Amino acid sequence: MPKETHEITVSHEQVGRTDHIVRDTTGLPRSQVDRLFQNKCVRVNKKVCLDTFFRVAVGDVVQIEFDPKSGYQEKKKAWTDRTFEVIFEDSWILVVNKRAGVLSLPTEKSTGNTLFDRLKLYVNHSRSGRECFVVHRLDREISGLLVFAKSNVGAELLQAQFADNAPVRKFTAIVNGNVQPESGTHKSYLATASNLDQYRVYNENDGQLAITDYQTIVTKLDTTVVELTLKTARRHQMRVHMADAGHPILGDPRYGKKNAQHRDWKKRRMAIHGHFLEFAHPENGEKMTFTTPIPQAIKRFRPIPIEEE
């Protein structure tokens, strides 16, 4: 069946919302009129109009072209979420930028509205019946890049990479004090206390090996911006290493105590962001590299403006 077409030059009586003109011209109910806009069947002055509330003036030309038998389906609204930003997605993986203050996974004390919960909803919204699988995590107070899998097979392949410490993970952090020397490696064995805090032990049989490389980016006044690179991925290891070195990450509520507080750091989050992530794609082994900008809260920290290329 041929498409139905209409062209209306707006008169004084028709000035106002475009959807009213479409409804009056086609005789369609409101729900179907909305679908015409969603499916790009309406043009104003030869330009596609997606806004049902768009106002037209005298002399504007409204064009409507649609198939009355097609049964246009309502399109899903774009997903918006304050807990994460999608950086990359395909049929195997989902790379996101987690916001600070968001719990990565459910715990015994907190089981609702975690990043994992939100991502499961997102994946199912994008394609009904799909699932999301955990590969690694970030502390609640840390923002940055994370990869999730969309199948058990993909998750197992990625988890094997992380177990071997193969992926490259880099973080930008603001720490207390002037770091000396300007680069180096923190290496220690970490054990878990009853409250889940991590602490250094001196017998390798009592803890897990943790290694963090650091590189000073800029030093000013009584703080330093450093890039931290994980060589292992132990719980809280960057936080413990910097605190043990006398340079706790600003805003850290668990390690460094008062030294983690700073007169110019007023944010409730920690001053650390995972800006770089690199791993092999689970399907074909291709190297996947992702970066994300430093959050404004860290970039605009008053004593240390961070210039990005």
pLDDT digits (tens, 9 = 90+) for 7-51: 999 999 999 999 999 999 999 988 888 889 888 999 999 999 988
Is the predicted pLDDT of residue 156 greater than 50, yes or no? yes
How high is the pLDDT of residue 81?
Answer: 77
For 209-227, what is the mean pLDDT? 94
Q: φ and ψ at 138, to 5 degrees?
A: -130, 150
Q: Which residue has the tokens 């970066």?
A: 291
Q: Which CATH number fits domain 4-66: 3.60.90.10, 3.20.20.70, 3.10.290.10, 3.30.413.10?
A: 3.10.290.10
The rounded distance, in Å, linking the Cα atoms of 167 and 188 is: 20
Which residues neighbour 218 within 8 Å (Cβ) at sequence distance 6 or greater? 224, 225, 304, 306
The rounded distance, in Å, linking the Cα atoms of 35 and 38 is: 5
Which of 48-52, 68-72, 207-211, 217-221 is predicted least confidently? 68-72
Return mean pLDDT, the chain.
90
Please, which pLDDT band fits residue 309 given cuts at 50, 70 and 90?
Answer: very low
How high is the pLDDT of residue 135?
Answer: 96
How high is the pLDDT of residue 58?
Answer: 94
Contact 213, 289 (CB under 8 A): no
Which of 28-32, 47-51, 175-179, 203-207 is predicted least confidently? 28-32
The rounded distance, in Å, linking the Cα atoms of 53 and 56 is: 9
Which residues neighbour 152 within 8 Å (Cβ) at sequence distance 6 or greater? 133
Interval 71-106: pLDDT, tens: 777 665 566 678 899 999 998 999 999 999 999 987
For 141-150, what is the mean pLDDT? 96
Residue 257 burial by Cβ neighbours in a 10 Å radius (0-12, 13-18, 19+): exposed
Please, which pLDDT band fits residue 1 given cuts at 50, 70 and 90?
Answer: low
How high is the pLDDT of residue 307?
Answer: 56
How high is the pLDDT of residue 173?
Answer: 97
Q: Is the peptide bond before 181 cis (omega within 30 degrees of 0)?
A: yes
What pTM value is reported for the model? 0.73
Q: Where are the domains of the chain?
A: 4-66, 84-299
Say which CATH superfamily domain 84-299 falls into: Pseudouridine synthase (3.30.2350.10)
How high is the pLDDT of residue 302?
Answer: 64
The percentage of the chain sitting over the pLDDT mark of 70, rounded to a whole number, equals 92
Of the two residues 31 and 228, the one the predictor is more confident about is 228
